[in-house]
C-alpha cells in the first residue's frame, strides 16, 4: 500500500530516482527510458527496458512503489505503472485512489519499429485531455488497437503475397541486364534492382506464411549484394591503381602502393563464389588484374634495382677518383680502369622508364671521359712497362752473349734493348727507371761493337794466317794473343826451303834461286800486310822457336 498522504512532489526527481535506484536493486536491469506523465487526477509512469524475462515484473513494480512511497504524492491521484520491453512484453499495474490494484500483461508480436512507435506514442500523448478514470483503459486500448493495425498493415500478413514476385522480378531484371552487357555500368543497375528487392522482402514480417520464402530470397539477394560490394570494391581499387600509374616513371613507394591496390582487387575478386552471376566477369577481370600486377611488380623491381645500381655507380665513381689520384703503377691503373668500368656498368644497368633514367644518362656522359682516359693511360703504362721489360730481357741476353764471346749477338741485343727504352713515353711511371738504363746500355753497345770489331778482325786474321800457312804443305802454325801474333815455321817447310836453296846454288840454277827469293819476299810481304791490316805485331819463329823477324804495323 502506497503512502499517499503527502501533498507535494517533483516528476523529474522521481524519474532520476527510478533511473538510478532500479539498476542498483536488480542486477542486469537497465531502463532505456523513464517518463512520468501527470494529469489532473492521475500519474502515469512509463518505463522501457530491453527485457523483462529474467526479472519479475511484479518485483520491479514493487520496487517502484517503494520509491513512490517516499515522495509527496497527493492521496487523490490514480497511479499507473506501465513496463514495456524490446521483446514485445507490456506489463501494467494501476492503483486507484480507493486502494484497489489492477494488473495487465500483454505480449505483442511486433518488431522493433512497432515497439518504438507504441512507446513514442505514450511519450508524446497529452494525457491531461483524458478523464482521469479512463486513462488506464485508453492506454491499454491504444496498445491493442495499434498492435492490431500494425500487424494487418504489414506486407503479406493476410491472403496472397505480391511482394515476392515483385522482388524476384526486380532481381532478375538486374541480373539479366548485367548478363546481356557485363560492364561496370550494368553493375550499378544490378545493385539498384537488388536493393529494391531486398527492401521489399525486409517488410514481410516474421509471422507471415511467406516469411520463410522471403527470408531465403533475402539471404540470396543479400549475398548477391555482398558479391557486388566485393566486385565494386575490386573495380574501384583497379581504377585507383590505373589512375596512380598514369604518369610514369614513379618512385618505388608509389609503385608499391599501386601493387597493393592490385593485390587487394585480386583478393576481392577471389572472394566471389562460382555460383555467383558475377563469377565469369570476375574471372576475366582476375586474369587482367594478375597480368597488371605482374607488370607493376616488374616496374617496382626495376625502380628498386635502379636505386641500388645508382647508389653503387656513384660509390664506384667516387672510389675510382680516389684511386686515380694516387695510382703509381700498372696494377694500380688497372684497378682505376676496372673501377670506372664497374661504375659505368652499374649506370647501364638502370633501365629506361625509371625515375633514375635521366640521372643515369647524365652520369654516363660524366663517367665515360674518365673511363676512356683511364683506359688510355692504362694502355700507355702497359706498353711502357712492356718496353721496359723487353729492354731488361734484351740486356740480359746481351750480357749472356758477351760471356760467350758472341759479340755480334751482344750488339744486336743491346741495340734491341735501347730501341725498347726509346719507345717508353716520358710521362710514364717506368720512364724514370728507364733513363739511367739508356746511358748504361749505350756504353755497353759501344763496347760490344768494339769487341765485335776485334772479333771480326781476329777472325779475318785467322783466315788470312790460315791462307798463308796452308798450301800443298803446311808451312807454319800460329798463336794469337791480344798483343802479339806468334808464327812458327814448320821444320818441314824450313828444310824444304833450305834444301831447295842449296840445290839451286849448287846447280847454279839462277831461276830456282830467284824463285826462292821471290817466295820469301812474298811471304814477308804477307806478314807485313797482315800486321798493318790488323794493327798487331807478327813475330816469325823458326822450327826451333827462335825469333827470326818481328813485323810491326806501319803508322
CA 470, CA 477: separation in Å to the nearest integer? 9
Scanning 27-134, the segments in alpha helix (DSSP H) are 57-69, 112-124
Q: What is the pLDDT of residue 319?
A: 97
pLDDT of 409: 95
SS3 299: helix
pLDDT at 269: 95
Q: Are 296 and 252 in contact (CB under 8 A)?
A: no
How far apart are the C-alpha atoms of 298 and 295, rounded to whole Å? 5
Tell me, what's the pLDDT at 88? 60
- The pLDDT of residue 131 is 43
Query: What is the C-alpha separation between 213 and 219, in angstroms, rounded?
Result: 10
Query: What pLDDT is recorded for position 105?
Result: 46
What local confidence, expressed as pLDDT, does residue 16 receive?
82
Q: Is 486 helix (H, G, I), strand (E, B) or coil?
A: strand
What pLDDT is stored for residue 63 in this prediction? Answer: 79
Q: What pLDDT is recorded for position 53?
A: 63
Q: Which residue has the cell 512520468?
A: 36
Q: What is the pLDDT of residue 130?
A: 41
Please tell me the pTM assigned to this model: 0.54
All three cell numbers of 43: 500519474
Sequential DSSP letters for 249-290: ---HHHHHHHHHHHHHHHHHHHTS-TTSTTHHHHHHHHHHHH
d(CA 493, CA 296): 113
Cβ atoms 12, 20 nearer than 8 A = no
Q: Are strands 78-85 and 101-107 parallel, antiparallel or unpaired?
A: unpaired
Q: How high is the pLDDT of residue 17?
A: 81
pLDDT attached to residue 99: 55
State residue 203's pLDDT score: 87
8 Å CB contact between 140 and 147: no
Per-residue pLDDT of the chain (555 residues; tens, 9 = 90+): 344 333 456 778 788 888 887 777 777 677 767 878 776 677 888 887 877 666 777 778 887 888 887 777 777 778 888 887 766 667 778 776 565 565 544 444 444 444 444 444 444 444 444 444 444 444 444 444 444 444 445 568 666 888 899 999 999 999 998 989 888 889 999 999 999 999 999 888 887 888 889 899 999 999 999 999 999 999 999 999 999 999 999 999 999 999 999 999 999 999 999 999 999 999 999 999 999 999 999 999 999 999 999 999 999 999 999 999 999 889 999 999 999 999 999 999 999 999 999 999 999 999 999 999 999 999 999 999 999 999 999 999 999 999 999 999 999 999 999 999 999 999 899 999 999 999 999 999 999 999 999 888 888 889 988 888 887 778 899 998 888 999 999 998 888 888 988 888 888 888 888 888 898 899 899 899 989 988 889 999 998 899 999 999 986
Amino acid at each position: 500500500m502506497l503512502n499517499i498522504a503527502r501533498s507535494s512532489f517533483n516528476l523529474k526527481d522521481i524519474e532520476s530516482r527510478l533511473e538510478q535506484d532500479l539498476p542498483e536493486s536488480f542486477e542486469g536491469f537497465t531502463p532505456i527510458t523513464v517518463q512520468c506523465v501527470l494529469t489532473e487526477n492521475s500519474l502515469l509512469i512509463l518505463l522501457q527496458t530491453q527485457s523483462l524475462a529474467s526479472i519479475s515484473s511484479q518485483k520491479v513494480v514493487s520496487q517502484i512503489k517503494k520509491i513512490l512511497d517516499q515522495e509527496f504524492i497527493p492521496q487523490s491521484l490514480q497511479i499507473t505503472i506501465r513496463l514495456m520491453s524490446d521483446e514485445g512484453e507490456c506489463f501494467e499495474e494501476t492503483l486507484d485512489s480507493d486502494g484497489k490494484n489492477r494488473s495487465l500483461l500483454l505480449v505483442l508480436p511486433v518488431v522493433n519499429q512497432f515497439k518504438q512507435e507504441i512507446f513514442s506514442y505514450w511519450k508524446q500523448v497529452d494525457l491531461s485531455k483524458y478523464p482521469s478514470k479512463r486513462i488506464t483503459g485508453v492506454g491499454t486500448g491504444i496498445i491493442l488497437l495499434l498492435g492490431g493495425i500494425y500487424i494487418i498493415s504489414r506486407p503479406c500478413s493476410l491472403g496472397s503475397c505480391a511482394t515476392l514476385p515483385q522482388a524476384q522480378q526486380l532481381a532478375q531484371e538486374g541480373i539479366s541486364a548485367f548478363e546481356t552487357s557485363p560492364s561496370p555500368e550494368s553493375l550499378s543497375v544490378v545493385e539498384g534492382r537488388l536493393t529494391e528487392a531486398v527492401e521489399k522482402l525486409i517488410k514481410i514480417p516474421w509471422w507471415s506464411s511467406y516469411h520463410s520464402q522471403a527470408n531465403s530470397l533475402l539471404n540470396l539477394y543479400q549475398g548477391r549484394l555482398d558479391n557486388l560490394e566485393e566486385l565494386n570494391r575490386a573495380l574501384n581499387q583497379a581504377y585507383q591503381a590505373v589512375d596512380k600509374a598514369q604518369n610514369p616513371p614513379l618512385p618505388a613507394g608509389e609503385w608499391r602502393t599501386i601493387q597493393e591496390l592490385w593485390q587487394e582487387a585480386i583478393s576481392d575478386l577471389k572472394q566471389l563464389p562460382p555460383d555467383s552471376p558475377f563469377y565469369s566477369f570476375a574471372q576475366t577481370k582476375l586474369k587482367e588484374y594478375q597480368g597488371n600486377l605482374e607488370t607493376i611488380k616488374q616496374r617496382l623491381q626495376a625502380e628498386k634495382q635502379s636505386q641500388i645500381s645508382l647508389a653503387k655507380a656513384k660509390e664506384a665513381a667516387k672510389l675510382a677518383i680516389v684511386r686515380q689520384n694516387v695510382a703509381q703503377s700498372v696494377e694500380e691503373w688497372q684497378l682505376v680502369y676496372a673501377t670506372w668500368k664497374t661504375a659505368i656498368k652499374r649506370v647501364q644497368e638502370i633501365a629506361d622508364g625509371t625515375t633514375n633514367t635521366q640521372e643515369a644518362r647524365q652520369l654516363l656522359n660524366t663517367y665515360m671521359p674518365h673511363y676512356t682516359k683511364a683506359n688510355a693511360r692504362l694502355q700507355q703504362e702497359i706498353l711502357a712497362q712492356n718496353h721496359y721489360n723487353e729492354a731488361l730481357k734484351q740486356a740480359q741476353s746481351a750480357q749472356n752473349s758477351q760471356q760467350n764471346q758472341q759479340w755480334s749477338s751482344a750488339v744486336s741485343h743491346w741495340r734491341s734493348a735501347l730501341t725498347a727504352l726509346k719507345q717508353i713515353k716520358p710521362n710514364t711511371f717506368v720512364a724514370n727507371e728507364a733513363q739511367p738504363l739508356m746511358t748504361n746500355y749505350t756504353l755497353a753497345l759501344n763496347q760490344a761493337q768494339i769487341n765485335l770489331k776485334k772479333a771480326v778482325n781476329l777472325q779475318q786474321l785467322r783466315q788470312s794466317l790460315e791462307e798463308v800457312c796452308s798450301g800443298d804443305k803446311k808451312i807454319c802454325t800460329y798463336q794469337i794473343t791480344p798483343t802479339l801474333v806468334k808464327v812458327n815455321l814448320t821444320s818441314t817447310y824450313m828444310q824444304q826451303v833450305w834444301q831447295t836453296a842449296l840445290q839451286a846454288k849448287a846447280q847454279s840454277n839462277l831461276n830456282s834461286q830467284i824463285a826462292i827469293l821471290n817466295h820469301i819476299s812474298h811471304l814477308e810481304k804477307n806478314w807485313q800486310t797482315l800486321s798493318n791490316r790488323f794493327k798487331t805485331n807478327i813475330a816469325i819463329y823458326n822450327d826451333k822457336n827462335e825469333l827470326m823477324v818481328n813485323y810491326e804495323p806501319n803508322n
